Amino acid sequence: MTRKEVTRPLKQVIPYKQAMLTLPLLLLFGCATADVETSPEQTETPAPETEAEAPAPVPEEPEPVVTTTSLYAIGDILLHDSVYNAAKSGDGYDFTAAFEPIAPILTEADIAIANQESMIGGSGIGLSSYPAFNSPYEVGDALQDAGVDLVTTANNHTLDRGVTAIENSIAHWNEIGMPYTGSFLSEADKAELRTLTENDISFAFLAYTYGTNGVVPKQPYHVNYIDLEAMTPEIEAAEQAADITVVSLHFGNEYETLPNEAQQTLVQQLSDLGVDLIIGHHPHVLQPVAWVNGAEGNRTFVAYSLGNFLSGQQGDDRNTGGIVGIDVVKTVEDDKETIELANPMFYPTFTRRSSVEGPFEVVPLQTGKPELFEATSQHMSQWMPELEIVQ
């Protein structure tokens, strides 16, 4: 999609006409003597030679400058007690084993994002599981070590343990230098648009949730809700600030494998506003990816639900997740800059315990449940046949 078109007229240089010089007339005088002397005036003087004017050089057409940035996203990190108890290590927790099998895939991305559904308020306020989650700080460290560059935190569990959990969580993200969006410490914190730039392509990130399980925030900045009127100016600001706008949406019905009408309507509205990438969460199962055409001729890449990435939920459908990826290609040529989305891919994953009493781990689906690979591939690509399924 074309972001900017600037016309710059080229200077043309036209060679001038070469003037021709006339030769002087020579006067010849004759005499009858045997010896003829030639006076200086009688010597034929050749016309001075004028060098031809060299043609002006033709300006060379500049080569197009093409840069590419890959963005990967993963689904819900929702830590039930079974998951964090299995990660207990001495006085703390170690989630390295959870992400180690798929870290080589995540680190291939120029930018990788994750949906941290349970607040990492830390063990100091007491860890907790369903229905009111609070998770250890250490899962944030493990995500960063695995290659995650930004987390989204707007979801129905954001307010589970109140303001303290939010403040503790954000304090730890800041301590380790992990950008976050979706819940904030203050109005000033919320007003600071989160952007990342790789390979001269800039990305702006926003995140919103349908609700918070009936819990009302003490301050409006504690969580972003899905409200098109409130979202519109934030999206417009993101469109102005970056090449690519990425919106994470916590929406849809739990355990439904296809998006509902409300999801599709909202996605169309955001595409019409110019949003480039939409990453969906909340159903805890996979929903397909799709292209959506916006009102201005733009095209939006949508992953309606990436399911669970790491959780303690039971059942193959709830343990099947994945990594979705897309390349953003920026071309600058002469007076025009274009941004295109290319090479969509999906890497299916499966969550399991490494042994009966061992830690939970996220592994390639072909490793964890190879019998599900074909059906999962067909499900995710049913609206996008060109989606590359990687394993």
pLDDT tens profile 352-387? 999 988 999 999 999 999 999 999 999 999 999 999
State in words which class domain 66-389 has: alpha beta
The CA distance from 363 to 322, in Å, is 10
Question: What was the pLDDT predicted at 57?
Answer: 77
**Average per-residue pLDDT for the chain:** 89
Give, in degrees to the nearest 5, the angle at Cα 307 between 130 and 280. 105
| pTM recorded for the entire structure | 0.85
What is the mean predicted confidence (pLDDT) over 45-54?
60
Query: Domain spans of the chain?
Result: 66-389
Name the residue among 367, 346, 348, 360 with its Cα closest to residue 313: 360
Residue 170 has pLDDT above 60, yes or no: yes
Residue pair 349/319 in contact by the 8 Å Cβ criterion:
no
pLDDT above 90 covers what percent of the chain? 82
Residue 42 has pLDDT above 80, yes or no: no
Question: What was the pLDDT predicted at 17?
Answer: 33
